[in-house]
Amino acid sequence: MNWLHDSVVGEFILLGVADRPRLEMVLFAVILFCYTVTLLGNTTIIAVSQLVPSLRTPMYFFLSNLSFLDLCYTTSIGPQILMHFWREKKTITYAACAVQLFISLGLGSTECVLLAVMAYDRYAAVCQPLRYTAIMSHSVCSTMAAASWMSGFGNSLVQTAMTMTLPLCGHNEVDHFFCEVPALLKLACVDTSVNEAELFGISVVFLLVPLGLIIVSYGYITVAVLRIRSAKGRRKAFNTCVSHLTVVLLFYGSAIFSYLQPPSRYSRDQGKMMSLFYTLIVPMLNPLIYTLRNKEVHRALRRLMGRDSTA
């Protein structure tokens, strides 16, 4: 029973880059900027989508879901990282670590599925324009969004339970900025090959399978766009998809790098920086990517600002 007693850890020490104070200050400024832009950008998208009737379409329904998800995602991690940069003792309780792992992993898994759902929405809009409103009805959109959230947090519940019940034998120094599965597996004082295999398998399900479906959807979309005779029509169809494709490449690329490799080969610095990229940088870029080329959002913003100025 001694090993069981030794495995109980009251708190974790999140090492981050505590051995490099100058880098800490640089990262503090970068993360604070990213978090602020994320809050402003995603809140704006949610507000515009709700306030402008012309944007109450399936595309903006899912985009609002993505923006809300990104707000929660960065908030589950960002403030804690920022506070730790100014603390000498960078600790987090066992319970808080478990909650953070559950929420952040659930939101990340949900985003994997939601991006695939958004690709299907673009497929229906471009390839089935006459049946689009019937295919993507309000009830269908709500069901698909709910399925994304439920599957994401269902996966997180299993992953969190398997990770947080591993015996640690007193090891509590997490070489990371926040609680994440690969970094926590390295603390276990038992063989984690089963956990690593399970993590790899579930990562394939939540990363490669949705990515494969997205690639298939855009294959059909490409064929449909090439059949459009007018250059203006092709350009319009292309513009509705390029933003989503950019987000897909950024998110899946960084997440696959972090999760589809054994934790034993989890690079000390590369893993930490890549995690910051898909948890803080990508959510900041999402609203910028979706609005920079989107004339509908530009018109909606001008309309709202004009309405405010005349009020």
More confident residue, 261 or 112: 112
Tell me what pLDDT residue 192 has: 86
Q: Mean pLDDT, to the nearest integer, of 22-45?
A: 91
Rounded distance, CA 178 to CA 12, Å? 10
Asked whether residue 11 is domain-assigned, the answer is: no
Percentage of the chain lying above the pLDDT 70 cut? 89
Inform me whether the pLDDT recorded for 290 exceeds 80: no
Asked whether residue 259 is domain-assigned, the answer is: yes
If pLDDT is split at 50, 70 and 90, which confidence band does 213 have?
A: very high
If pLDDT is split at 50, 70 and 90, which confidence band does 2 have?
A: very low
Query: Helix 282-292 and helix 295-310: axis angle, to 10°?
Result: 90
Asked whether residue 57 is domain-assigned, the answer is: yes
If pLDDT is split at 50, 70 and 90, which confidence band does 8 have?
A: low
The per-residue pLDDT for range 171-212, each reduced to its tens digit, is: 788 888 999 888 898 888 888 888 888 888 998 999 999 999
Asked whether residue 54 is domain-assigned, the answer is: yes
Q: Mean pLDDT, to the nearest integer, of 64-86?
A: 92
Inform me whether the pLDDT recorded for 238 exceeds 80: no
Asked whether residue 13 is domain-assigned, the answer is: no
Question: Dihedral of CA 205/128/241/118: which sign?
Answer: negative
Q: Mean pLDDT, to the nearest integer, of 61-72?
A: 93
- Split into its structural domains, the chain has a count of 1
Rounded distance, CA 267 to CA 116, Å? 29
Percentage of the chain lying above the pLDDT 90 cut? 37
Asked whether residue 146 is domain-assigned, the answer is: yes
Inform me whether the pLDDT recorded for 274 exceeds 80: yes
Rounded distance, CA 245 to CA 115, Å? 9
Asked whether residue 10 is domain-assigned, the answer is: no
Q: Mean pLDDT, to the nearest integer, of 100-126?
A: 93
CA distances from 65 to 191, 272, 287 (A): 39, 27, 12
Rounded distance, CA 65 to CA 289, Å? 16
Inform me whether the pLDDT recorded for 3 exceeds 50: no
If pLDDT is split at 50, 70 and 90, which confidence band does 261 have?
A: low
Residue 34 CA neighbour count, 13 Å, CB half: 26
pTM: 0.87
The per-residue pLDDT for range 139-160, each reduced to its tens digit, is: 999 999 999 999 999 999 999 9
Mean pLDDT, rounded, of the chain? 84
If pLDDT is split at 50, 70 and 90, which confidence band does 111 have?
A: very high
13: three-class secondary structure by DSSP: strand
More confident residue, 298 or 137: 137
Q: Mean pLDDT, to the nearest integer, of 217-246?
A: 79
Residues 178/75, Cβ–Cβ less than 8 Å: no
Number of C-beta neighbours around residue 227 at 10 A = 10
Residue 150 CA neighbour count, 13 Å, CB half: 6
Domain of residue 259, CATH code: 1.20.1070.10
Which amino acid, one-letter code, is at 146?
A
Question: Dihedral of CA 34/240/255/43: which sign?
Answer: positive
More confident residue, 308 or 73: 73
Least confident piece of the model among 112-126, 246-260, 289-303: 289-303
β-bridge pairing 11-14 and 173-174: parallel
Instruction: Give the residue numbers spanning the domain of 59.
Output: 21-303
More confident residue, 285 or 293: 285
Query: Residue 92 forms beta bridges with which residues?
Result: 12
Asked whether residue 310 is domain-assigned, the answer is: no
Tell me what pLDDT residue 153 has: 96
